[in-house]
Amino acid sequence: MVRDETLSESDSNPNLLDARTKGLIRAILYPVIFKEGPDEHDVVRAIAVVVGRCALDATVAEFHTAIRRALDSRVPLSDLSDSARPETATRQFLQAVLSRLEHGTESHAR
């Protein structure tokens, strides 16, 4: 079988995420680093200050892809933000961000 050279090792291994994906996930999680249970306001704020400002020169599509990859992985995502937050809360937060991005509800918090 011929391997597609455009795929990174992380694409074939659900236990790994590439450096770019990790960086984008860390950026999204940074605004809630000290929150044990981020809420809807935190979702809106993270989108506004990270995705809306094109942090790390990323597009909305790149953030969407990074979140999808992270959620599909078995990587402990709470570890990416050095947070004591439960893994389920981190994944729920990222899922909520992803849902807003998919539905175009990227309203900005003020």
Q: For residue 5, is it within any domain?
A: no
Give residue for tokens 């809106």.
Answer: 44
pLDDT tens, residue order, the chain (110 aa): 333 333 444 455 657 899 999 999 999 999 999 999 999 999 999 999 999 999 999 999 999 999 999 999 999 999 998 888 999 999 999 999 999 999 985 444 33
Q: For residue 83, is it within any domain?
A: yes
Q: For residue 1, is it within any domain?
A: no
Q: Which two tokens stand for residue 50?
A: 């990270």
Q: Which two tokens stand for residue 84?
A: 């004591």
Three-state SS at 21: helix
From CA 79, how far away is CA 70, in angstroms rounded?
12
What pTM, to 2 d.p., does this model score? 0.81
From CA 92, how far away is CA 39, in angstroms rounded?
10
Q: Which domain holds residue 84?
A: 16-102
From CA 32, how far away is CA 46, in angstroms rounded?
8
* pLDDT at residue number 7: 41
